[in-house]
Homo-oligomer: A and B are copies of this chain.
Amino acid sequence: MKILSRKERDKQIRRTDILKAAEHIFALRGYHKATIRDIAKEAQYASGTVYLYFKDKDALYFALLEEKMKDLLSIAKEKASQVKDARKKLEIHVKEALVFFENNQDFFRIFISDENELFAEKNLLKSNTALEMHLYTTSLLKEAQKQGVVSADFETERLADVFSAIVKTIIMKWLQEKDSNRGSLVNLSGLILRLFLNGAAKS
């Protein structure tokens, strides 16, 4: 039925509106200080309405995180799959992450905070998508080790952690710079790769 389908579509749109509002408020205030009332207000709904679309605050938060991470992951995988060279794959991976986060700065803030919550509390329930992202990064690096681009001396797991940490750090600091003095985030992909692959020492 056309009608029912449109109803479904409208429902999705409203759900997305709430997610957008949540993204903004969570990024602005952090999970704990963000209130359902704030989010509802931003989405131009009453607070009760939020509960028609999400079971509770947690479900809203996780839906937001999961869906955005899925977006990033699928984009990155798709683009990187178009080349064979491991170094090039890494480069594309970094660039896609930088582009994505430059376009989703609110989400980046939530993404970063979330990791620490998970670390601080012994909440072991890392989201599936987060795990997938980690696995994917690890697989890229393993391939790079096979191809001789990256030294096989290091444990791939640790490399993945450090690699991600460098990317995140560069993004964080870029976000903290005054808008006026900063160019596009993608310009920093070279810096990231050079630091990760060749280090800081004088060559």
Q: Which residues of A contact B (CB under 8 A)?
A: 27-30, 32-33, 109-110, 112-113, 116-117, 119-122, 141, 148-152, 154, 157-159, 161-166, 168-170, 172-173, 176, 191, 194-203
Contact = CB atoms under 8 A, between A and B. Distances in A.
Dominant SS among interface residues on chain A: helix
A88 B151 CA distance: 24
How many copies of this protein are present in the complex? 2
Contacts of A191: 154, 158
Nearest to A90: B200
B116 A112 contact: yes
Contacts of A168: 165
Given A150-B201, A172-B119, A32 B29 contact: no
B173 A161 contact: yes
Contact of A151 (B163, B170, B202): B202
Contact of A119 (B112, B151, B157): B112
Given A120-B109, A165-B165, A202 B150 contact: yes
Contacts of A113: 116-117, 119-120
Nearest to A148: B202
